[in-house]
Amino acid sequence: MSNGWERSAQAWIASMGEQGDWAREHVLDPVMLGRVARDAYRSALDVGCGEGRFCRMLQASGIGTIGIDPTHSLVEQAKRRDPAGDYRLGSAEALPFEAASFDLVVSYLTLVDIADFRAAIREMYRVLRPAGSLLIANLTGFTSACAAQGWVRDEEGQRLHFPVDRYLDEFSFELEWRGIHIRNWHRPLAAYMSVFLEVGLQLSYFAEPEASSGDSAQREIHRRVPWFVVMEWRKPAISV
């Protein structure tokens, strides 16, 4: 089953500049880069790198970074934007790297795109070095449960509330905006947490971040319904 990324690649590229969209620039980037800056990482893997924006940010921080993505058009765009970078076509569920290859593995809003997320998490753990970090940004289950429906609004179009339904189920749903039409997956937070714990990772950071900059109206929307969760998981120095 296609997740729609290949057919949506050009629309995505057109909408995603170096600053990313509003949420990346004002909500997620400050948190993700702040976590990265806390350690002296030498090597990183960006799983689901897309057009390579966050890879370039990691490289600018002095970290040797490889980006991998299953969408050919996005990988080719990453190579065009960064000819000296290392961008590869591949699947998160079967990463083409030796075990314990990276100090840092990043999944920046990619788990919701992956059908077999359990296999992907196990692969991210496998390629992570002991004492390394797995840094995750993901949709919260409270928003992904009804992301296809969106806000409930009054007759004048004002936002009333964001619905939650079928939270404990796991299911796919389709999203469409700005010519982008993709398939995402909803899972409750416990589904992700159980796999992280099962493989032996240790939670070192957890946040549902709000915007740290940007216009006040958008910041208020993200305070009403935090859209994202950021987690950092550590692989034990001695693997368990």
Q: For position 20, what pLDDT does the model report?
A: 85
61-104 pLDDT tens trace = 999 999 999 999 999 999 999 999 999 999 999 999 999 999 99
DSSP state of 24: I
Q: Which of 41-50, 57-66, 169-178, 193-202 has the lowest mean pLDDT?
A: 169-178
Domains in the chain, number: 1
Q: How many CA atoms lie within 13 A of 149 on its CB side?
A: 16
Residue 15: inside a domain, yes or no?
yes
pLDDT in tens, 173-199: 999 988 899 999 999 999 999 999 999
Query: Is residue 164, in this structure, part of any structural domain at all?
Result: no
Residue 34's pLDDT is 96
In a domain, 72, yes or no: yes
* pLDDT tens digits, one per residue of 102-124: 999 999 999 999 999 999 999 99
CATH number of 83's domain: 3.40.50.150
Whether residue 171 lies inside any domain: the answer is no
Task: Evaluate if residue 224 carries a pLDDT over 70.
Answer: yes
State the chain's mean pLDDT as an integer. Answer: 94
Domain coverage including residue 17: 5-139+189-234
How high is the pLDDT of residue 131?
96
Q: What percent of the chain has pLDDT over 70?
A: 98
Res 16 pLDDT > 70: yes
Note every long-range contact of 173-176, with CB atoms under 8 Å and residues 24 or more positions apart, other chains counting: 173/144, 173/147, 173/148, 174/4, 174/148, 175/147, 175/148
> Crossing angle, helix 72-81 and helix 5-15, to 10 degrees?
30
Report if residue 182 sits inside a domain: no
For residues 150-155, average pLDDT: 95
pLDDT of 240 strictly over 80: no
- Provide the token pair at 163: 């619905």
Question: Does some domain include residue 144?
Answer: no
In this prediction, residue 15 has a pLDDT band, given cuts at 50, 70 and 90, of confident
In a domain, 176, yes or no: no
Residue 148 lies in a domain: no
Read off the pLDDT band of 1 (50, 70, 90). very low
Q: How far apart are CA 236 and CA 55, in angstroms?
A: 25
